[in-house]
Amino acid sequence: MLKDTVAVELPLMDTSEGIVLFHPNIPENAVKQLKDVLESRWIGQGPKVQMFENLFDTRIAAPCKSIAVGSGTDALHLAYLLADIQPGDEVIVPVFTCTATNIPLLYIGAKIVFCDIDENLNINADAVEDLITDKTKAIVCVHYGGLPCNMDVLWELGRKYDLKIIEDAAHALGAKYRGKTIGSESDFSMFSFQAIKHITTGDGGMLTIKDEELVEKAKRLRWFGIDRLRKQKGIWENDITEIGYKYQMTDLSAALGIASLEEFDKHLEHRQRLYRKYCEQLAGADGIRIIGNEYPEREHAAWLLTAEVDNLGDFIRHLRHYGIESGQVHYRNDRYSIFGGSVKGRFDMMDRMEDRYVVLPLHSKVSEPDVEKIAGIIKRGW
Ligand SMILES: Cc1ncc(COP(=O)(O)O)c(C=O)c1O
């Protein structure tokens, strides 16, 4: 059973009622890009997917290579298979994340080892080493809301104990760590293009891979284990020796991805400007702390505006009274029955944050005056 949280269940608002928490970001060129695909011979995985991957390499992943898939969850599952995580292997993951980070590990039969979070809602990198055993195969970190984790510590542990580092960057498209884009450095990183992410392909995801030798394998696994190029050349002696699945992206989705990537710089800048505005407006305000703005070496991708607040239920109701949506988006995973359903470790920071963290509106339909208005309402008190 999930613990009751103080989060207030309110019906979703319509945009006409005020400032909503999320809104899909549809690029100007979406219809033109989609039309091209609909009028072509390919609507499934074809040339647009390849083009999207190439653009993604250039903009985000290089020197890593990008593989487009049907969802961020697919990308994680594929990463775990490519990292050779076997039944019984231990994988260290943050206790606070979307369940999508961890569900593929259950499919594999790996043992999930939860690690506490830090005050930014990211994995507490300083608590990871104590969880490593001779069965540990990988460390998964989640850049929650778009704020990069403490990668120096995690990469060092990866080297010291020969562990794969897998970055769940579903929230972190465009984030940077020490000047390098998230997705360009670790063994594996993944991104999500689900409806309300920085860019959306309806549903979709990208896996970036450091080891070039795994790229062809990744392509086979995303298509049942079949080498599609050899098959297209008419060679039917194309045995399947690895169990793949159907993780591929379609050209329809990739068309949206291409159109979104073309506008991405502008969109990212907008989000980051809103994030800074919130920080500026709420600096020193009573009862609220904006999360993640104190790290010069980390560039926040500003997917979510997360804050820690006193009296969460009253806070959410106060904002809602003025037509502003806020709320919690993800929940600690250790309480879900599929992951064991009971607390097995000490998660002091998770215990503190679970009834205090909140998300405020930050997306393409929110303006800087909107943020000023929201901050003004918050400063009146709740
Ligand atoms: C942290 C995190 N990881 C992974 C995912 C899964 O991505 P997708 O919804 O594209 O499968 C999500 C959710 O969207 C997420 O929030």
Same domain, 138 and 276: no
Task: Tell whether the model's pLDDT for residue 235 goes beyond 70.
Answer: no
Q: How many domains does the chain have?
A: 2
Burial of residue 345, with CB atoms counted within 10 A of its CB: 0-12 exposed, 13-18 middle, 19 or more buried: middle
Can you give the CATH number for the domain in which 42 is found?
3.40.640.10
By C-alpha distance, which of 188, 182, 168 is closest to 84? 188
Q: Using the mean position of ligand 1's atoms as its centre, give its distance from the Cα of residue 236 in Å.
A: 37
Q: Note whether residue 186 is domain-resident.
A: yes
Q: Using the mean position of ligand 1's atoms as its centre, give its distance from the Cα of residue 44 in Å.
A: 22
d(CA 255, CA 70): 13
Burial of residue 317, with CB atoms counted within 10 A of its CB: 0-12 exposed, 13-18 middle, 19 or more buried: middle
Residue whose CA is closest, atom 7 of ligand 1? 72
Predicted confidence at residue 15, as pLDDT, reads 84
Mean pLDDT of 32-38: 96
Mean pLDDT of 16-36: 94
Q: Note whether residue 301 is domain-resident.
A: yes
Same domain, 97 and 121: yes
Q: Using the mean position of ligand 1's atoms as its centre, give its distance from the Cα of residue 203 in Å.
A: 10
Can you give the CATH number for the domain in which 298 is found?
3.90.1150.10
Same domain, 150 and 241: yes
Predicted confidence at residue 10, as pLDDT, reads 83
Q: Note whether residue 69 is domain-resident.
A: yes
Same domain, 65 and 160: yes
172-176, 231-235, 239-243, 326-330: segment of lowest average pLDDT: 231-235
Mean pLDDT of 46-54: 97
Atom of ligand 1 nearest to the CA of 74: 11
Domain final residue pick, 262, 280, 302: 262
Q: Note whether residue 12 is domain-resident.
A: no
Mean pLDDT of 200-227: 96
Instruction: Give the 3-state secondary structure of residue 215.
Output: helix
- How confident is the model over 64-78, as pLDDT tens digits? 999 999 999 999 999
pLDDT-derived band at 231, boundaries 50, 70, 90: low
Best of 22, 69, 71, 73 for a ligand 1 pocket test (most atoms within 8 Å of beta carbon) = 73
Q: Using the mean position of ligand 1's atoms as its centre, give its distance from the Cα of residue 216 in Å.
A: 24
Atom of ligand 1 nearest to the CA of 197: 14
CA distances from residue 321 to 10, 84, 282, 309 in whole angstroms, order as listed: 11, 51, 19, 17
Same domain, 145 and 229: yes
Mean pLDDT of 51-59: 98
Q: Note whether residue 15 is domain-resident.
A: no
Q: Note whether residue 159 is domain-resident.
A: yes
Predicted confidence at residue 314, as pLDDT, reads 97
Best of 140, 190, 194, 203 for a ligand 1 pocket test (most atoms within 8 Å of beta carbon) = 194
Same domain, 249 and 285: no
User: DSSP alpha helices (H): ranges in 189-263?
Assistant: 215-221, 228-232, 251-262
Same domain, 374 and 288: yes
Top-confidence residue, 381 or 6 = 381
Phi-psi region of 107 (alpha: psi -120 to 50; beta: other; left: phi over 0): alpha
**Phi, psi torsion values for 327, nearest 5 degrees:** 165, -175
Q: Note whether residue 10 is domain-resident.
A: no
Domain limits for position 306: 264-379
Q: Note whether residue 20 is domain-resident.
A: no
d(CA 366, CA 374): 11
Top-confidence residue, 232 or 18 = 18
- How confident is the model over 249-302, as pLDDT tens digits? 999 999 999 999 999 999 999 999 999 999 999 999 999 999 998 899 999 999
Atom of ligand 1 nearest to the CA of 168: 3
Best of 74, 98, 99, 193 for a ligand 1 pocket test (most atoms within 8 Å of beta carbon) = 98
Domain final residue pick, 245, 262, 279: 262
Predicted confidence at residue 21, as pLDDT, reads 97
37's enclosing H/E stretch is helix 30-38
Mean pLDDT of 104-116: 96
Same domain, 90 and 184: yes
Predicted confidence at residue 5, as pLDDT, reads 56
Same domain, 220 and 190: yes
Mean pLDDT of 177-181: 98
Domain final residue pick, 262, 279, 303: 262
What are the tokens at 292? Answer: 């993640």
Q: Using the mean position of ligand 1's atoms as its centre, give its distance from the Cα of residue 79 in Å.
A: 14
Q: Using the mean position of ligand 1's atoms as its centre, give its distance from the Cα of residue 140 in Å.
A: 13
Same domain, 198 and 303: no
SS (H, E, C) 311-363: CHHHHHHHHHHCCECCECCCCEHHHCHHHCCCCCCCCHHHHHHCCCEEEECCC
Task: Tell whether the model's pLDDT for residue 40 goes beyond 80.
Answer: yes
Residues in contact with ligand 1 by the CB-under-6-Å rule are 71-73, 97-98, 100-101, 142, 168, 170-171, 192, 194, 203, 205
Kindly list the catalytic residues: 197
Same domain, 62 and 164: yes
Task: Tell whether the model's pLDDT for residue 211 goes beyond 70.
Answer: yes
Predicted confidence at residue 1, as pLDDT, reads 44
Residue whose CA is closest, atom 1 of ligand 1? 98
Same domain, 329 and 241: no
Mean pLDDT of 323-336: 95
